[in-house]
Structure 1
Amino acid sequence: MEKYRGAEEDRARALQRVTKLSLHLVEPGAAGAAAERRQVVAEPCAMALRAPAAGKFEGLTSYMREKHWDLQEKVLEFFNSRPDLQTPVEISMAEHRELCMRQLRALVQEANIRPFRLMLEDPGKYFAVTRAIGSVDMSLGIKMGVQYSLWGGSVINLGTQKHRDRFLDGIDNLDYPGCFAMTELHHGSNVQGLQTTATFDPAADEFVINTPNDGAIKWWIGNAALHGKFATVFARLLLPSSAGHGGPADMGIHAFIVPIRDLATHRSLPGVEIRDCGHKVGLNGVDNGALKFSGVRIPRDNLLNRFGDVSSDGKYSSSLPTAGKRFAATLGELVGGRVGLAYSSVNVLKLGATIAVRYSLLRQQFGPPNQPEVCILDYQSQQQKLMPMVASAYAFHFATLFMVDRYSEMKKTHDEEIVADVHALSAGLKSYITSYTAKSLSVCREACGGHGYAAVNRFGSLRNDHDIFQTFEGDNTVLLQQVAGDLLKQYQEKFKGTALAVTWNYLRDSMATYLSQPNPITSRWEGEDHLRNPKFQLDAFRYRTSRLLQTAAMRLRKHSKTLGSFGAWNRCLNHLLTLAESHIESVILEKFIEAVDNCPNRKTREVLKLVCDLYALDRIWNDIGTYRNVDYVAPNKAKAIQKLRDYLCFQVRGVAGQLINAFGIPPEATRAPIAMQSDAYSSYTRQVGFQEYIPAAGAAGLFDSD
């Protein structure tokens, strides 16, 4: 009897909770007068997706629309008009690879969109095309990136005018499909450890490319297995000893243009062994291969010689004084790949969030007795899975737009300060955003239950294709260490009076302001106006970063005395990774706040402020232990942050449909049946072969009673 009574009480409490939630949909609960004034009233489920894309926030879609949106629309419209170029849900690896090549040729030769020219003239336009192409097929986006950003970008950025004159047109029109051969079987992120050699032969005025051991085989090289005819090969430049004795002089890692297939017959050239890396977890439209070189001779002019050159008599020259500076300059010119991955990853997050939120608004499940079922986005658990994700997509949107603008400025001015800024910013944003997106895609799949597991609804392909973004262009853990190292360098230079890079400017005052003892009064403030104040939010983010930076410097100094610099770094590694992520979160929040402040439309600004507050308080709550440990936030304030964060999830749910519509992703880009704005299940059942149900004559009354 007691067991029965307990179960009944549990059911009663659950019913009371659902009833209370239903009332919230009409009028917000008592969360303070200020909250009521700012409350965005939720719409009924049936209306949430059927409202026009702009809804009552007319300026939201236009404010989110990027400068080159018309170019993205042109790309999407072209592929939508060509069913023969659309990637089916089920396709073999061989078919997918050939389809990707046909898609790329059609884009360039039929749609007359020239990504390489766009990259050289206006990087913003190139990244816009990259984002649109990634919506068509992520394999196509990566294949295009290999051809133009990596192979083409290396020739243009690391070579000189003679290379531009010889190769630009062929790369642009796809006569010269190529590869970017940096990664080796034993070395990926550690580029300075590459073992492939390029030995200069003065008698023949040629370089001889060799793979000295199996560990030096170039591995995972996109475009190599099938389509590439050239490769930019990163190798150790070896010169004959000037004294006439001893081993060759090692001048460090340089880049060389190496033909790998005959232009006419497409057969692999003598000394070039090409193998297929085979089926992968994702991106099987990209033909990744392995390259092994045995005495392959190339002309001296095939050295990409912008930062270092070799004369016909074997003399080395460079405008940069040390091998370290040459290496840094070489990698610095390749930073565009990281910019593109971070920018594209935001689009993948938007796609995943769009599908999951639209499904959650349409799917109805359970509800009060004898009343209609409620949509699953009305459940607090679903809101807390998806609403912070939507807020993060908005935050990343504005941060990556800033990064693309900085990158474009860097390419125009070649300003050293901007170069350093973009290098660290792109490393941090690429690692942070791609890691967050990878985790979020799994959450989206789970939030959509069994339907999320259907391949046609895309979570599987999105998750698998995007997963490697965490490794491309530098492993995320390695890139975060670069950010931490740059922060420590800036920390040291602060005390030398050196100017700080733009992105790190807040550190100028942080040591004095943010590292002072927490105010015992403000640490207890828990009012909504205070918690939603951008100054409090940004100060909290920056306090955490500043404290982590100071303690990291102290720990490294301490451990280096006994463990040496490498041992000390490894001992503090988790601390350093947390420091880098904290800094990047601070930069993202700063750019989001600026975007809110700069929004000209009052109603749009209000909804953006709501989303920005959720992003900020969600991140603070996720690391509340750090703030509690140093008394930056008192227990009552921590509880208030949690409550407000939960309430903001509820408020954002009320405009979730409009927020994802403002991403501007058309149906041909989402393509998931459960992401339709209406009649999702009709579309879904047709996908698996059912005919649309039409009631038989005389049975209509069964369906008319409602």
Structure 2
Amino acid sequence: MDRPTTTTTTVVASQTYDGGESPALRRLRLLSLHLYQPSLTRAASSGRGEHGLIPCGSGGGRARRVEASGPELKAYMEGPHREVQMRVFDFFSSRPDLQTPVEISTADHRELCMRQLVALVREAGVRPFRYVLEDPSVYFAITEAAGGIDISLGIKLGVQYSLWGGSVMNLGTKKHKDKYFNAIDNLDYPGCFAMTELHHGSNVQGLQTTATFDPLTDEFVINTPNDGAIKWWIGNAAVHGKFATVFARLILPLQGNGGESADMGVHAFIVPIRDLKSHSVLPGIEIHDCGHKVGLNGVDNGALRFRSVRIPRDNLLNRFADVACDGKYTSSLPTVNKRFAATLGELVGGRVGLAYSSVGVLKIAVTIAVRYSLLRQQFGPPKQPEVSILDYQSQQHKLMPMLASTYAFHFATRYLVDKYSEMKKAHDDDVVSDVHSLSAGLKAYVTSYTAKSISTCREACGGHGYAAVNRFGILRNDHDIFQTFEGDNTVLLQQVAADLLKQYKEKFEGGTLAVTWNYLRDSMASYLSQPNPVTARWEGEDHLRNPTFQLDAFRYRTSRLLQSVATRLHKHSRTLGGFGAWNRCLNHLLTLAESHIESVILAKFIEAVQSCPDKKTREVLKLVCDLYALDRIWNDIGTYRNVDYVAPNKAKAIHKLAEYLSFQVRGVARELVDAFDLPDIVTRAPIGMPSEAYSQYTQYIGF
């Protein structure tokens, strides 16, 4: 029988997503596809690629080398707000006095970081604050650029405008915007975001700081009841902050049952902490320096204690709840939990920004490592020139899947920013729910991956990677906390898993699914049917590089994990209760959340490939996308083997093809990192320069 064209194969495969197809029909169709499956490439067939690997493409001949067109690739990767980023880069390039040296004390770094922020806003005229409200995508682009100059600068900017300023604008009402917007915008009111306490971080509902209303003076009294309630790790507090948004339990006297005080849950309050003119600490407030940290020492983290600090009633950020002068409490939301969820929901932008900025850090590290690996030569065949270390399969294995992941994260976080911008404009409940879980998942997944990858990049650059001037140590230390603040990654992944289980339950109760989880509509029926013994053995490259196969594999894994953990939770809850069952299944739940996020990332990468208008660029992106997908499948091949989704011969083919794709990506690695378009002031590492790296390196140490 004649083999069908690729177009025909794609059309048939796309029917997998027909929501009306029964599991039985789906299996019959997949069986019929076996008749059309391209012939399998065997070891004995003619012509292997270099390294003894099967070349991509049909037949056994040598694959055509994929070529990249640098300008087109760079143009497609370029964000819509590159102009404002270049304003940031050009400004700091013209100001050597504002560039962060490799060696700097904590005190000097803090003062430099504040000078950098003030100069960016007042001299360069880059005003991020209005974009927090009007166009978050511009704000995130500015934050990424600032972080490229110094991650401490990016974080300090985020504390001022996203956390302190964003809390006032998003949780307050018109009176707060009128009073505070301009002064926050121009840095006359530098501020803090005082949520985390010594004993409570992720569990915000467990905060102990109190704000008790005094109807006699029409004030709230802010108090730290014990040492465990001291506000801790508060950015901008140790040196520069003049105000703080303080999250505290609202206590209303005589409004509880029986006439006792009523705890209305956590609310947000504006609390002045230093005098606007003298900058001295205000009465009743105690501030201490959290000291030298592993990284981000340009940010002045401090600890705050409040001793009966009185603030006007108007300082309650009252978008979701208010207190009248007689102490009467009103809210548009009926319960403590709903008010709490609405309050935290307005702060989700911090997670979006961290996921987006983390990709920026990963781009820097990968660029330095790839450029050095292309430059550095080591060993080679006898009596022949040494070869680039990126020609070694081991180096390709370290860096090429990482480069592919960087591209995947680029498109996924761009999608997240677009969804967040949509959420801020439309206030659609489905979009809000989607962004909350997606931002939690991507923040956790991307920041964890980046943290591990920076160390891998350092190792890939050998001894030269250990030099501070080559940036890996600074990047690693400054980025490491991304895994903790704005939500600890383990806690955030649990939120994703909980939402998946909620969607799973609602599906079987006839509810609708949020946008990101649409694929679960089919997966519970079709993906969880017995794996097809025929397709489980397909190993042809056309099949393995088919995005339908790749997405099916990712989504099958997520669906299987979701079904199995739901069953386990139900079983254990009978004897252990809800909390005990959750804890017993916790590792399973974290794996489920990561699997789902990987599915979303791959789906967005495939969409980006298919949307690319330039043929040559599309081919390069398809190559990189295939490497991302097959590398992830291979990394979890045990899961697929355990349920017979992948037969042994197919697993071996996936491994070989992933290695060969790494070899092919190596051929366009220079163009791929150049497409990130990172100026020298961002990469800065002598070994990461596009040319004359050794020359700059030797000059740096005095030759």
Is 1:31 matched with 2:55? yes
In structure 2, C-alpha distance between the alignment counterparts of 1:579 and 1:405, rounded to whole Å: 25
Partner of 2:678: 665
The one of 602, 609, 613 aligned to 1:589? 602
Amino acid at match of 2:690: Q
Is 1:136 matched with 2:136? no
Amino acid at match of 2:156: K
The one of 496, 507, 518 aligned to 2:520? 507
Partner of 1:530: 543
In structure 2, C-alpha distance between the alignment counterparts of 1:614 and 1:31, rounded to whole Å: 14
In structure 1, C-alpha distance between the alignment counterparts of 2:421 and 2:343, rounded to whole Å: 18
The one of 366, 381, 385 aligned to 1:368? 381
Is 1:217 matched with 2:241? no
Shift of 1:573: 0.1
Shift of 1:265: 0.6
**What 5-or-longer segments of structure 2 have no aligned partner?**
1-46
**Does the residue aligned with 1:144 lie in a helix, a strand or coil?**
helix
What is the count of residue pairs matched by the alignment?
A: 657
Partner of 1:352: 365
Partner of 1:12: none
In structure 1, C-alpha distance between the alignment counterparts of 2:547 and 2:582, rounded to whole Å: 34
In structure 2, C-alpha distance between the alignment counterparts of 1:193 and 1:269, rounded to whole Å: 27
Is 1:41 matched with 2:65? yes
**What 5-or-longer segments of structure 1 have no aligned partner?**
1-22, 44-54, 691-706
TM-score normalised to the size of structure 2?
0.92
Q: 1:30 to 1:512 in 2, by over 3 A?
A: closer
C-alpha root-mean-square deviation of aligned residues, in Å? Answer: 1.6
In structure 2, C-alpha distance between the alignment counterparts of 1:193 and 1:39, rounded to whole Å: 60
Write out aligned runs for 1:1-400 (5 A).
31=55, 34=58, 39=63, 41=65, 56-242=69-255, 246-400=259-413
In structure 2, C-alpha distance between the alignment counterparts of 1:601 and 1:32, rounded to whole Å: 21
Amino acid at match of 1:279: H
In structure 2, C-alpha distance between the alignment counterparts of 1:143 and 1:321, rounded to whole Å: 36
Q: 1:40 to 1:63 in 2, by over 3 A?
A: farther
Write out aligned runs for 1:434-513 (5 A).
434-513=447-526
Partner of 1:693: none
In structure 1, C-alpha distance between the alignment counterparts of 2:177 and 2:480, rounded to whole Å: 34
Amino acid at match of 2:86: E
Cα deviation 1:558-600 (Å, max 9, x = unaligned): 0000000000000000000000000000000000000000001
Amino acid at match of 2:388: C
Amino acid at match of 1:219: W
Cα deviation 1:174-220 (Å, max 9, x = unaligned): 00000000000000000000000000000000000000000000000
In structure 1, C-alpha distance between the alignment counterparts of 2:90 and 2:104, rounded to whole Å: 23
Is 1:627 matched with 2:640? yes
Residue identity (%): 77
**Does the residue aligned with 1:255 lie in a helix, a strand or coil?**
strand
Q: 1:310 to 1:662 in 2, by over 3 A?
A: same
Q: 1:32 to 1:67 in 2, by over 3 A?
A: closer
In structure 2, C-alpha distance between the alignment counterparts of 1:687 and 1:57, rounded to whole Å: 30
**Does the residue aligned with 1:34 lie in a helix, a strand or coil?**
coil
Shift of 1:41: 3.5
**Does the residue aligned with 2:528 lie in a helix, a strand or coil?**
coil
Shift of 1:222: 0.1
Shift of 1:120: 1.6
Cα deviation 1:423-444 (Å, max 9, x = unaligned): 0000000000000000000000
Partner of 1:650: 663
Contact conserved, 1:221 with 1:290, CA < 8 A, in 2? Answer: yes
Shift of 1:526: 0.4
TM-score normalised to the size of structure 1?
0.91
In structure 2, C-alpha distance between the alignment counterparts of 1:384 and 1:417, rounded to whole Å: 40
In structure 2, C-alpha distance between the alignment counterparts of 1:460 and 1:32, rounded to whole Å: 38
Contact conserved, 1:196 with 1:236, CA < 8 A, in 2? Answer: yes
In structure 1, C-alpha distance between the alignment counterparts of 2:298 and 2:535, rounded to whole Å: 55
**Does the residue aligned with 2:378 lie in a helix, a strand or coil?**
coil
In structure 1, C-alpha distance between the alignment counterparts of 2:629 and 2:561, rounded to whole Å: 18
Is 1:521 matched with 2:534? yes
In structure 2, C-alpha distance between the alignment counterparts of 1:554 and 1:184, rounded to whole Å: 36
Cα deviation 1:106-137 (Å, max 9, x = unaligned): 01000011000122221110000000000000
Write out aligned runs for 1:550-589 (5 A).
550-589=563-602
**Does the residue aligned with 2:361 lie in a helix, a strand or coil?**
helix
Shift of 1:27: 11
Q: 1:243 to 1:93 in 2, by over 3 A?
A: closer
**Does the residue aligned with 1:370 lie in a helix, a strand or coil?**
coil
Shift of 1:476: 0.1
Shift of 1:499: 1.4
Q: 1:38 to 1:265 in 2, by over 3 A?
A: farther
